[in-house]
């Protein structure tokens, strides 16, 4: 059945539409501020004059390739192209600074495609069990997942743990701006309607990374940078040894990312952050994480694309969006006359297989296109710095305006950029701030929602298995490092005695 669907999808017209989607997605994804959600939403109406299979070929192509291409700008200019590629800036940009440009781009492509393919396989084999597991996530579980994510503030801070925690708490405070999630009471909005939805996350993110990075580079002593930055592409493919190194963390990450993708309302941003944390704890070289770790880049590239299969699973089996893009895709499917849900698997099985086949073919297209364009993408590093700066600033302004057509968001983006610049100059990591802004609202609203469910009983977080496991994992991840280094020191001192 699936093979039949793949053969069907390999029709030249569908292949061309898929390719078109991939190329459009690549451009949208690589430009900061233009996200996969926006790309799919804007192009949906244009696909209605196509056949359903052709239209979906375009949309799924955009979805997959925008998430992958977001990593390209994260790696090359340290500005995530989409929110899902935040975690790729941790290691990707450092690898480029070390001169491993080709390798960084190659890893992004190869592991993104792996993530996409593996998650599609999950979708094919276990769509219903995954979706039913995702439904088990109620408010207490979201809270515990959010706390687990927040515990990562420490690892993204690198050596500046105290500074990282300070700016992280600042981020949490900023995340309380807007209507409160339970009673809709305006907090710190100063009677400005624009503030009611809180700090716009994407605008703050691209400002902090994009503008912050540009301002920092301008003030940095560029002579030293020129020397460290060799402009050779270098090898694209990782060595067999590197492959072996990443195999286990990637296997675990693909499961985590499929589940996080399937949970309604959580997407690639959270998945890649959680996977990065997970891989760091398992790694034999945790010190490399954040300093250009191949494992780190591999799992984050894999995780944000791995979410797609999970999100599609929930969307197709239950009719509930798994992330922002699938929320738009549901509408598109309905316009094609499909009602996502178990019925679709029975009544339109061929269509379901078509979707799966399109995901597979789309990912293979990305693989070929990605490897072929590595050199082209890397040309961005040959461009004069001044040109890049102006382009990045221009796209940041355009992107932040385009999200909500709102000049207010542009203002926030610039303020975040200045804050990001000051933080960088003072050697404060900005990762914890972004993390807090992303997870703060999830943690707060689900904490209070859980208490509303339990009538104020805090035990609700510990009596439910998934929530309990996540909280225990959080405690373990917080205590593992200091405890193990304490014991190491102890045994070391014993040996020396």
In DSSP terms, 178 is beta-bridged to 187
Binding another protein by CB under 8 A: which of 8, 15, 163, 181? 181
* SS3 at position 188: coil
42 is an interface residue for another protein by CB under 8 A: yes
- Tell me which residues in 346-405 interact with another protein (CB under 8 A): 389, 393, 397, 401, 404-405
Per-residue binder mask for another protein (CB under 8 A), 243-282, x = binder? ---------------------xx-----------------
Please provide the size of the chain in residues. 497
What's the rounded Cα separation, in Å, for the pair 192 and 215? 29
**Identity of the residue, 82 or 108, whose beta carbon is nearer to another protein in the bound complex:** 82
What's the rounded Cα separation, in Å, for the pair 309 and 289? 27
466 is an interface residue for another protein by CB under 8 A: no
What's the rounded Cα separation, in Å, for the pair 164 and 149? 15
The CA dihedral of 157, 88, 276, 141, to the nearest 10 degrees, is: 90
What's the rounded Cα separation, in Å, for the pair 245 and 299? 11
**Identity of the residue, 146 or 292, whose beta carbon is nearer to another protein in the bound complex:** 146
Binding another protein by CB under 8 A: which of 17, 122, 137, 289? 137
* SS3 at position 170: helix
If we measure between CA atoms, which residue out of 445, 439, 452 comes closest to residue 180? 445
Give residues with Cβ within 8 angstroms of 313, minimum separation 6: 122, 123, 127, 130, 131, 134, 258, 261, 262, 322
Binding another protein by CB under 8 A: which of 121, 126, 418, 468? 418
Give residues with Cβ within 8 angstroms of 59, minimum separation 6: 21, 40, 43, 44, 47, 329, 332
Q: Give the shortest CB-217-to-another protein separation in angstroms.
A: 10
407 is an interface residue for another protein by CB under 8 A: yes
320 is an interface residue for another protein by CB under 8 A: yes
17 is an interface residue for another protein by CB under 8 A: no
Q: Give the shortest CB-218-to-another protein separation in angstroms.
A: 5
Looking at beta carbons, which pairs linking 42-48 to residues 24 or more positions away fall under 8 Å? 44/328, 44/331, 44/332, 44/335, 47/332, 48/335
* SS3 at position 187: strand
**Identity of the residue, 189 or 230, whose beta carbon is nearer to another protein in the bound complex:** 189
In DSSP terms, 179 is beta-bridged to 186
234 is an interface residue for another protein by CB under 8 A: no
Binding another protein by CB under 8 A: which of 21, 71, 116, 321? 321
**Identity of the residue, 193 or 459, whose beta carbon is nearer to another protein in the bound complex:** 193
Instruction: Give yes or no for a contact between 209 and 79, defined as CB atoms under 8 angstroms apart.
Output: yes
- Tell me which residues in 99-128 interact with another protein (CB under 8 A): none
* SS3 at position 113: helix
**Identity of the residue, 90 or 389, whose beta carbon is nearer to another protein in the bound complex:** 389
**Identity of the residue, 111 or 137, whose beta carbon is nearer to another protein in the bound complex:** 137
- Tell me which residues in 428-457 interact with another protein (CB under 8 A): 445, 449, 452-453, 455
Q: Give the shortest CB-460-to-another protein separation in angstroms.
A: 10
H or E stretch including 196? none
Binding another protein by CB under 8 A: which of 3, 12, 162, 184? 184
Binding another protein by CB under 8 A: which of 3, 125, 162, 193? 193
341 is an interface residue for another protein by CB under 8 A: yes
- Tell me which residues in 43-102 interact with another protein (CB under 8 A): 44-45
**Residue range at the interface with another protein (CB under 8 A); choices 90-98, 157-165, 223-231, 325-333:** 325-333
Q: Give the shortest CB-182-to-another protein separation in angstroms.
A: 6
| Phi, psi for 467 (deg, rounded to 5) | -65, -40
Binding another protein by CB under 8 A: which of 50, 161, 196, 229? 196
224 is an interface residue for another protein by CB under 8 A: no
Binding another protein by CB under 8 A: which of 182, 251, 349, 478? 182
DSSP string, 260-301: HHHSTT--HHHHHHHHHHHHHHH-S-GGGTTS--HHHHHHHH
Give residues with Cβ within 8 angstroms of 93, minimum separation 6: 74, 75, 76, 77, 78
- Counting Cα atoms < 13 Å in the Cβ hemisphere of 378 gives 27
Neighbours of 469 (CB within 10 A): 13
What's the rounded Cα separation, in Å, for the pair 69 and 64? 9
**Residue range at the interface with another protein (CB under 8 A); choices 2-10, 90-98, 267-275, 320-328:** 320-328
Binding another protein by CB under 8 A: which of 170, 229, 335, 391? 335
236 is an interface residue for another protein by CB under 8 A: no
| Interface with another protein (CB under 8 A) | 37-38, 41-42, 44-45, 135-139, 179, 181-186, 193-194, 196-197, 211, 214-215, 218-219, 264-265, 318-321, 327-328, 331, 334-335, 337, 339-343, 389, 393, 397, 401, 404-407, 410-411, 414, 418, 445, 449, 452-453, 455
């Amino acid at each position: 059945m699936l093979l039949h669907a793949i053969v069907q999808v390999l029709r030249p017209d569908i292949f061309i539409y898929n390719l078109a989607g991939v190329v459009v997605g690549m451009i949208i994804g690589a430009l900061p501020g233009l996200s996969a959600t926006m790309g799919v939403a804007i192009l949906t109406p244009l696909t209605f004059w196509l056949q359903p299979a052709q239209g979906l070929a375009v949309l799924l192509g955009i979805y997959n390739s925008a998430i992958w291409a977001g990593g390209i700008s994260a790696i090359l200019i340290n500005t995530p192209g989409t929110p899902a590629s935040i975690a790729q800036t941790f290691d990707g940009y450092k690898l480029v600074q070390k001169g491993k440009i080709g390798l960084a781009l190659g890893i992004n492509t190869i592991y993104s495609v792996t993530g996409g393919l593996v998650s599609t396989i999950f979708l094919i084999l276990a769509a219903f069990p995954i979706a039913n597991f995702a439904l088990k996530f109620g408010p207490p579980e979201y809270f515990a997942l959010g706390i687990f994510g927040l515990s990562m503030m420490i690892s993204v801070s690198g050596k500046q743990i105290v500074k990282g925690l300070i700016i992280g708490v600042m981020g949490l405070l900023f995340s309380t701006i807007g209507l409160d999630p339970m009673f809709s009471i305006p907090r710190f909005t100063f009677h400005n309607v624009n503030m009611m939805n809180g700090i716009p996350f994407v605008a703050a993110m691209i400002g902090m990374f994009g503008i912050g990075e540009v301002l920092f580079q301008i003030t940095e002593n560029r002579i030293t940078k020129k020397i460290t930055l060799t402009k050779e592409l270098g090898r694209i493919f990782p060595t067999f040894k590197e492959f072996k190194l990443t195999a286990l963390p990637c296997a675990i990450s693909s499961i985590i990312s499929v589940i996080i993708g399937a949970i309604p309302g959580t997407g690639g941003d959270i998945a890649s952050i959680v996977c990065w944390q997970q891989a760091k704890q398992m790694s034999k070289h945790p010190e490399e994480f954040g300093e250009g770790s191949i494992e780190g880049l591999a799992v984050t590239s894999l995780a944000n694309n791995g979410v797609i299969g999970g999100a599609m699973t929930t969307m197709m089996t239950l009719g509930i969006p798994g992330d922002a893009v699938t929320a738009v895709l549901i509408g598109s499917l309905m316009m094609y006359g499909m009602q996502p849900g178990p019925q679709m698997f029975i009544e339109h099985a061929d269509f379901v297989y078509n979707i799966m086949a399109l995901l597979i073919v789309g990912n293979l297209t990305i693989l070929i296109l990605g490897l072929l364009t590595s050199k082209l993408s890397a040309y961005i590093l040959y461009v004069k710095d001044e040109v890049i700066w102006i382009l990045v600033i221009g796209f940041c302004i355009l992107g932040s305006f385009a999200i909500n057509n709102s000049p207010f968001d542009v203002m926030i983006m610039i303020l975040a950029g200045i804050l990001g610049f000051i933080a960088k100059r003072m050697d404060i990591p900005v990762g914890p701030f972004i993390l807090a802004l992303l997870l703060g609202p999830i943690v707060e609203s689900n904490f209070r929602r859980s208490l509303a469910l339990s009538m104020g009983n805090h035990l609700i977080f510990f009596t439910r298995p998934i929530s309990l496991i996540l909280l225990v994992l959080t405690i373990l991840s917080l205590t593992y490092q200091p405890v193990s280094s304490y014991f190491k020191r102890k045994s070391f001192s014993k040996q020396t005695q």
